Amino acid sequence: MKTQLEYAREGIVTPQLKHVAEEEGIPEEVLIKKVADGSVVIPANINHTNLIPCGIGEGLRIKINANIGTSSDTGDVNTELEKLKVCIDYKADAVMDLSTGGDINAIRKTIIENCPLTIGSVPIYQALVETTASYKAVVNMTEDDLFNAIEAHCRDGMDFITVHCGITRRAVELLKYEGRVTDVVSRGGAFVIAWMLHNNKENPLYEHFDKLLEIAHKYDVTLSLGDGLRPGSTADATDRAQIEELITLGELVDRARAAGVQAMVEGPGHVPLNQIITNMQLQKTICHNAPFYVLGPLVTDIAAGYDHITGAIGGAIAATNGASFLCYVTPAEHIGLPDIEDVKNGIIASRIAAHAADIANGIPGAAERDRRMSAARKKLDWEGQKVECIDPVKFSEMRRNKQTATEACSMCGKYCAMKIVEKELGISCGDHC
Amino acid sequence: MKTQLEYAREGIVTPQLKHVAEEEGIPEEVLIKKVADGSVVIPANINHTNLIPCGIGEGLRIKINANIGTSSDTGDVNTELEKLKVCIDYKADAVMDLSTGGDINAIRKTIIENCPLTIGSVPIYQALVETTASYKAVVNMTEDDLFNAIEAHCRDGMDFITVHCGITRRAVELLKYEGRVTDVVSRGGAFVIAWMLHNNKENPLYEHFDKLLEIAHKYDVTLSLGDGLRPGSTADATDRAQIEELITLGELVDRARAAGVQAMVEGPGHVPLNQIITNMQLQKTICHNAPFYVLGPLVTDIAAGYDHITGAIGGAIAATNGASFLCYVTPAEHIGLPDIEDVKNGIIASRIAAHAADIANGIPGAAERDRRMSAARKKLDWEGQKVECIDPVKFSEMRRNKQTATEACSMCGKYCAMKIVEKELGISCGDHC
């Protein structure tokens, strides 16, 4: 059994690589080099048989992930399957099942069965839920509990898993003296730290990283090296604890590659706009060009209820400066579990950010779509615009609700500049004022 | 009668300047130099007696504008007054009345009477509506019609007016050979061009700029030098026609300053993310540091229905790189006249962009608000978060709708990391995963 990384090193074009090259419109011989050197990953668990794979990394279209899953408070498998349908319909590239409520084993298997998208999870949640159910205190989780949960997720077909391997005792020491406003905001990271401190031990995911590599290799699971110490407020961004963890993740990227295991790196978080480029550059150099999977970044802390917008601002800048994979943020972030409408709005906002970056990055086909949209707009061709726009359903609904007496829109009505200039100059217009 | 610019040059602290210095938390002697050199404007029409003024420009908090007003299709004065209330409640810094439908003189006066915010308009719309009503064809508008409309708006109390003075015959010639996808998308610009071509004359706003300066000076109206040739699609950005117009606007900034008239410059439009910084730098150098008022920028053309997000991405980047004033974009942009909900969503998105830039720009008080918000989040202090967040009404509503069995939120429920880590480390957590 070989991984996509190993096949690429041997120059073997897998069906997955072939598919990704076609989708991206780039030659197989270009893509295979990127997979071989680790700057692109193709997460594709051998047990995720219904997967239509995508590639994540340098030179490719920016991918977006949508988190779904139950919590202890709310959610059932049918709601989660509805969310999955929204993810597919609105063109998320990947989903993560973060379920922590209900029969999470059954929910995970059902979601994977119904998911042609790249799928990921955070197995430590499973260990946590099970530990809490049996022993009461999470700090009593055994190392076996943790690795059993990881193996279960990998066996079931997760294409990538988040593992918080970079939280070392040294990083925790640094954290203690940071004077952070929000300390630790990663749930998985928080569990790991609590466990380490209570048991006075090193992080098992770091200490037994080879064991993790063995499991990941067996199923060709891509490791998404989690940022347990990411800043949860703009005030905490780019501090010593965060960067120390990143350095460790960089080392682990090399170890993963040496073991033939694909790896990407997760990043912040809440980051002031003027620190985003620095964060992207640091990750690229420290992690030897591993694909960067960012959670936002959120450029302000105050926009609860609208953090899909905050995340789209940060995500677009990140993706234009080295990030390859954007985790969506929904309007519900910081308030509660996203419902179906939140999931949709989160996906749309991330797709806008990703597409804006694709245009800026010169990705083949990206600017062409905008050109077709704008050409249709110029012609007042509303059907043509509907075909190209990011959400045809919303577009038609809004157009219907904003009745106009003319073929123009109700913003300009009979004073549509298009009409006037077209007559005089043979050229036309699409916006207002 | 002197303008704010002339008072500042003479070292006289006006009540308006005093107010702005207090609001911004900067010394009067710093602010007065910026007003004197034109890098800051304080739009304050002597006839806008209920104005609470704001400053726009270098080193100040980023300001945002919301466009309201009727169109020939829709809207009445009461709806527009409701929109104005939303602008005040959600903390727009300025509004523009762009009415082109109904009794626009009465609507304008009523809006000004009820508007403590900085207010602006595009007087050429008035000339257009009146011309159309009396002569049928807009190209038959006389130069007097145009200047009469401008004088009427200034007399009524507009603090700033958009005037498309930079569209010269040379710029129109350049435009003809650009091969643009969307040619002209500025409505005012389109009228000016149609008029110029039909009458085979130079732009009266350029040719008789001194007359314009005289009117503006009389009422201390700030000229917002409009970008009639702004790109209406990302494909058209930063082309020869756009930059030629900008060069002319730069010349006119100097002429305005020489006449004691305050001036700012309007900018694009649809701009790919990787061209925004270039656009900001060009404006700063070419327009001798005049405040830059940007319409977006929109970083993709395909997001009709969600262009408040597209605009927030571009606006945040622009405002971190030299723009001082963001014109909001609503979800209705490119589809129809915004309704009250669209106005609200447009304002919120712009405020997020402006605040993200204020943090990045190190504006006093900006990061502190985020710090308070995050400190409340860490403590699971939901009332504290409500006070600091951008939309307390939405925040409370979402919190109510996302019931949880714990004091945490329904995303993490009983697995709230905060609880676990706080116990072990005395530190806590606020986000998920």
Which chain A positions have a beta carbon within 8 Å of B139's beta carbon? 424
- Using CB atoms, which residue from A72, A359, A429 is nearest to B184? A429
What global pTM score does this model have? Answer: 0.95
Given this model, what pLDDT does residue A401 score?
87
Which chain A positions have a beta carbon within 8 Å of B418's beta carbon? 190
Question: Does residue A30 surpass a pLDDT of 80?
Answer: yes
Given this model, what pLDDT does residue A422 score?
66
Segment A130-143 mean pLDDT: 82
Interchain proximity A413–B273, CB inside 8 Å: no
Strand partners, B265: B225, B292
Question: For the segment A269-327, what is each residue's pLDDT rounded down to a tens digit?
Answer: 999 999 999 999 999 999 999 999 999 999 999 999 999 999 999 999 999 999 999 99
Given this model, what pLDDT does residue A132 score?
81
Question: For the segment A79-127, what is each residue's pLDDT rounded down to a tens digit?
Answer: 999 999 999 999 999 999 999 888 999 999 999 999 999 999 999 999 8
Question: Does residue A350 surpass a pLDDT of 50?
Answer: yes
Interchain proximity B302–A333, CB inside 8 Å: no
Question: Does residue A427 surpass a pLDDT of 60?
Answer: no
Query: Which of these ranges, A70-74, B16-20, B119-123, has the smallest mean pLDDT?
Result: A70-74
Per the listing, tokens 């257009």 go with B128
In the three-class reduction of DSSP (H, G, I as helix; E, B as strand; rest coil), residue B64 is classed as: strand
Strand partners, A156: none
Given this model, what pLDDT does residue A73 score?
72
Question: For the segment B146-204, what is each residue's pLDDT rounded down to a tens digit?
Answer: 999 999 999 999 999 999 999 999 999 999 998 999 999 999 999 999 999 999 999 99
Question: For the segment A221-280, what is each residue's pLDDT rounded down to a tens digit?
Answer: 999 999 999 999 999 999 999 999 999 999 999 999 999 999 999 999 999 999 999 999
Q: Closest residue of A to B69, CA-based?
A: A411
| Candidates B334, B339, B391, partner chain A, best to mutate (most A CBs within 10 A) | B334
- Using CB atoms, which residue from A122, A129, A420 is nearest to B138? A420
For chain B, the average pLDDT equals 93
Greater model confidence, A421 or A143: A143
CA distance A153 to chain B (A): 16
Q: Closest residue of B to A350, CA-based?
A: B309
Greater model confidence, B388 or A420: B388
Segment B40-64 mean pLDDT: 98
Given this model, what pLDDT does residue A432 score?
42
Locate A265 and state its tokens.
Answer: 């790196």
Taking CA atoms, A13 is separated from A261, A319, B21, in Å, by 17, 28, 65
Q: Closest residue of B to A359, CA-based?
A: B272
CA distance B23 to chain A (A): 20
- CA–CA separation, B68 and B84 (whole Å): 7
Position A135 confidence tier, pLDDT thresholds 50, 70, 90? low
Taking a C-beta distance cutoff of 8 angstroms, is the pair A205, A146 a contact? yes
Per the listing, tokens 């209406």 go with B232
Question: For the segment B205-252, what is each residue's pLDDT rounded down to a tens digit?
Answer: 999 999 999 999 999 999 999 999 999 999 999 999 999 999 999 999
CA distance A53 to chain B (A): 24
Interchain proximity A331–B371, CB inside 8 Å: no
For chain A, the average pLDDT equals 93
Position B392 confidence tier, pLDDT thresholds 50, 70, 90? very high
Domains in chain B (CATH in brackets) are 61-360 (3.20.20.540), 366-431 (no CATH)
Question: What is the DSSP-derived secondary structure letter of residue B298?
Answer: B
Which chain B positions have a beta carbon within 8 Å of A306's beta carbon? 348-349, 352, 390-391, 394
| Candidates A277, A420, A422, A428, partner chain B, best to mutate (most B CBs within 10 A) | A420
Interchain proximity B309–A308, CB inside 8 Å: yes
Interchain proximity B306–A349, CB inside 8 Å: yes
For residue A185, count other CB atoms closer than 10 A to its CB: 32
Kindly give the residue spans of alpha helices, DSSP state H, lying in B177-259. 187-199, 204-207, 209-219, 240-258
Question: Does residue B394 surpass a pLDDT of 60?
Answer: yes
Locate A200 and state its tokens.
Answer: 């006075």
Q: Closest residue of B to A185, CA-based?
A: B429
Question: For the segment A164-192, what is each residue's pLDDT rounded down to a tens digit?
Answer: 999 999 999 999 999 999 999 999 999 99
Given this model, what pLDDT does residue A428 score?
42
Interchain proximity A431–B187, CB inside 8 Å: yes
Interchain proximity B430–A374, CB inside 8 Å: no
| φ, ψ (nearest 5 deg) of residue B40 | -130, 140
Question: For the segment B297-342, what is each residue's pLDDT rounded down to a tens digit?
Answer: 999 999 999 999 999 999 999 999 999 999 999 999 999 889 999 9
Interchain proximity A272–B369, CB inside 8 Å: no
Write out the H or E segment, with its range, that includes residue B285.
helix B276-286
Per the listing, tokens 């059994």 go with A1
Query: Which of these ranges, B69-73, B85-89, B424-428, has the smallest mean pLDDT?
Result: B424-428
Given this model, what pLDDT does residue B426 score?
56
Given this model, what pLDDT does residue A430 score?
42
CA distance B117 to chain A (A): 21
Question: For the segment A332-344, what is each residue's pLDDT rounded down to a tens digit?
Answer: 999 988 999 999 9
Question: Does residue B413 surpass a pLDDT of 90?
Answer: no
Position A70 confidence tier, pLDDT thresholds 50, 70, 90? confident
Interchain proximity A432–B301, CB inside 8 Å: no
Given this model, what pLDDT does residue A429 score?
39
Query: Which of these ranges, A44-48, A314-318, B187-191, B281-285, has the smallest mean pLDDT?
Result: B187-191
Given this model, what pLDDT does residue A139 score?
84
- Using CB atoms, which residue from B67, B335, B410 is nearest to A73? B410
Greater model confidence, A161 or A432: A161
| Candidates A195, A334, A380, A381, partner chain B, best to mutate (most B CBs within 10 A) | A334
Interchain proximity B395–A190, CB inside 8 Å: no
Which chain A positions have a beta carbon within 8 Å of B395's beta carbon? 304-305, 335
ipTM exceeding the 0.90 mark: yes
Given this model, what pLDDT does residue B416 score?
67
Question: Does residue B21 surpass a pLDDT of 50?
Answer: yes
Locate A167 and state its tokens.
Answer: 């939280």
Q: Closest residue of A to B164, CA-based?
A: A433
Rg (CA), chain A: 23
Given this model, what pLDDT does residue B131 score?
85
Strand partners, B65: B94, B327
Question: For the segment B74-118, what is each residue's pLDDT rounded down to a tens digit?
Answer: 778 999 999 999 999 999 999 999 998 889 999 999 999 999 999
